[in-house]
Structure 1
Amino acid sequence: MSSEYPLEIFDIDEELNVRLLHDFTGERTGFVQVGPDKWFLPRKYKDQAANFYNLQVRPDDTWVVTYPRSGTTWTQEMVWLIANNLDYETARRIPQTERFPFFEFSLFVHDEIKSELLKLNAGNPEKLKLVEQISRPGYEVLNEMKSPRFIKTHLPFSLLPPNLLDVGCKVVYVARNPKDVAVSFYHLNRLIRTQGYLGDFPRYWDYFENNLHPWAPYWSHVTEGWDHRHNPSVLFLFYEEMNKNLPATINKVAKFLERGPLNDEQVSSLVNYLNIKNFRNNPAVNFDLHRQIGLLNEGEEEFIRKGKNGSWKDEFTPELSRRADQWIQRNLEHTDLRFP
């Protein structure tokens, strides 16, 4: 590759590509794998990789980096509110997607999907504007944003700007156990039109385990995060611990962002705001606008789901669970990462 972008990008095998396009109807061209870890992304990444990799990072940026469905939206809202002096009024008024842009989401808005959405929303300037927004590359959006910027990404550290941890910005990384991640991501893949997954859960798990779905491989992603946990620019969190003790997490995040300590009343108000029932009914975070433009498929589970630990039990058969446990065991042999 050029000096602009150091990793090789390969098209996946054509037969496999055809099968994936049949099951994941949001992508229409195909998929690539990137670098030695074989990061799995839509083919559009090939043309834009250097732009993502070479984004100008600013010292006052705050990033939330996660594998998908690891408590990302919840963490973003907590981080944004702590960094913005608990400004609930603005948080409710401005959608999270505007306050905290999703760096690479545009990669998943295939040109054909974009055309379908434009057609669907013809005659409504507000909705057409939103379709343009979601299909605009994140690096363009971020280059125009005033500081301080808040940035969400599911890209692993090795695909992010190489100076990310050297310039003084803050990175919150959240990890969640893979069985809960897979179940939650399966439902999101069915819900969101840009993924458009049509198969059942066992087939989805097959893709998940074999690193054949967006942002995989899971283990490379979380172990990269884990390996950076001692860097002063990184706060590594487990979703399970956040869920178990949210006040302690809030204090930890406030300290990391140099916004603490918060008093008991402030912590309590934020805990209440982030309570899953309130969160699910909050249009600023639950993808309400995206539903209005037709980005979410009807009849699927909501964007903000249960928010609890152990919901994997709803989808895994005993046999599939045993297989998953063996896969987890094999992968934990190579790391001292352990889920709470």
Structure 2
Amino acid sequence: MAEKKKDFVDEINKALAKSEGFTLKDLLFSYQGTPYPVTVCSAETFQALENLEARRDDLVLVSYPKCGVNWLIQILSDLIFTTTQSKHVSAELPFIECGDPDKYQRMKQIPSPRILATHLNYDCLPKSILKNKAKILVLFRNPKDAAVSFFHFHNSAPSIPSYSSWDEFFSEFMNGKVSWGSYFDHAVTWNKHIEDENIMVIIYEDLKENLTCSVKQIAEFFGFSLTPEQIRSVANRATFQAVKDKAEETHGAVGSILFRKGVVGDWKNLFTEAQNQEMDDKFKVCLGGTKLGA
């Protein structure tokens, strides 16, 4: 178990080390029109991703970057442990689109239920996930806080190239020229499917406001049977602060950067009035009048 955790942290450190000396321009490559980081993604891996053999009992977690999916992974891992007493630690990077093309063969060895995380748009998911009707939990976060968190991640993570200013990052974010592309394109593709029976949407701000209630919803959606006491215990261990306190153990040196602040409303420290208005307008155009927009 400790060996697998070490391998996982090694994989994260390897990905970070690959960024050494990169400029922002060199960091991204385009695949089917969307920019991805060359440090963890490749065209070969995307081509091989179609060979991923999803299982019906896979637990699929989706979010745009910096919207809290690493937090969800910790919660789900605890739910699995609480109900099965088996600690699932995989040496693979948890995001299905990240890693080498051979990872999908190795993933066959991971016991069920597997956690499959992704930042991909709905239309880019491997077909087997949809065909097998695996349950998909989609996490959304206020795009303003997501953007600020993304900016700080870029400018705090060792070896990842930094943006010269918040204004530069904001412009790239709004134009979808950051890793994994546009927040709004991502939201629009998933918004079309939020009524699908195997999909549940959860909001980051709700996780922050009432974690116990959210953990209960997540457990019920994925079919975990827990007592109210167990739900409370998982929620207590899964507060953002508790996860952050263990981040170095779970994610190595990058842990404190992945789990930085986790607060709601941090965007107010960076956004200008004009930027605030620009994002409000874009949100209305893309999601106004939809269930997700509400």
Change (3 A) 1:255 1:89: closer
- In the other structure, the counterpart of 2:269 is 314
Aligned residue identity for 1:277: Q
Aligned match for 1:103, one of 81, 86, 96: 96
Aligned match for 1:139, one of 104, 124, 137: 104
Q: What does 1:16-95 align with in structure 2 at a 5 Å threshold?
A: 22-23=23-24, 27=27, 30-34=28-32, 38-42=33-37, 45-85=42-82, 90=87, 94=89
* TM-score, structure 1 as length reference: 0.71
Aligned residue identity for 1:314: N
SS of equivalent residue, structure 1 residue 198: coil
Does the Cα contact within 8 Å between 1:101 and 1:150 map onto a contact in 2?
A: yes
Change (3 A) 1:259 1:230: same
How far did residue 148 of structure 1 move?
A: 2.6
- In the other structure, the counterpart of 2:175 is 210
User: Which stretch of structure 1 is more off in the superposition, 64-73 or 319-328?
Assistant: 319-328
Aligned residue identity for 2:59: T
2: CA distance between counterparts of 1:285 and 1:232? 36
Aligned match for 1:189, one of 154, 165, 175: 154
1: CA distance between counterparts of 2:159 and 2:189? 27
- In the other structure, the counterpart of 2:220 is 255
2: CA distance between counterparts of 1:53 and 1:257? 24
SS of equivalent residue, structure 2 residue 23: helix
2: CA distance between counterparts of 1:63 and 1:286? 20
Q: What does 1:8-19 align with in structure 2 at a 5 Å threshold?
A: none
Please state if 1:175 is matched with 2:140: yes
Aligned residue identity for 1:167: N
SS of equivalent residue, structure 1 residue 101: coil
2: CA distance between counterparts of 1:325 and 1:171? 28
2: CA distance between counterparts of 1:153 and 1:85? 24
2: CA distance between counterparts of 1:178 and 1:303? 17
1: CA distance between counterparts of 2:31 and 2:133? 30
2: CA distance between counterparts of 1:84 and 1:233? 23
Cα RMSD for the two superposed structures: 2.8
- In the other structure, the counterpart of 2:211 is 246
2: CA distance between counterparts of 1:137 and 1:24? 27
SS of equivalent residue, structure 2 residue 127: coil
2: CA distance between counterparts of 1:201 and 1:177? 18
Structure 2 unaligned segments of length 5 or more: list them.
1-21
2: CA distance between counterparts of 1:257 and 1:270? 15
Change (3 A) 1:245 1:99: farther
2: CA distance between counterparts of 1:60 and 1:89? 16
Q: Percent identity?
A: 24
How far did residue 41 of structure 1 move?
A: 2.0
How far did residue 250 of structure 1 move?
A: 1.1
Please state if 1:269 is matched with 2:233: yes
* TM-score, structure 2 as length reference: 0.81
Q: What does 1:224-243 align with in structure 2 at a 5 Å threshold?
A: 224-243=189-208
2: CA distance between counterparts of 1:157 and 1:279? 28
1: CA distance between counterparts of 2:268 and 2:279? 12
Change (3 A) 1:334 1:216: farther
* Structure of higher CA gyration radius: 1
Structure 1 unaligned segments of length 5 or more: list them.
1-20, 107-134
1: CA distance between counterparts of 2:104 and 2:162? 27
SS of equivalent residue, structure 1 residue 57: coil
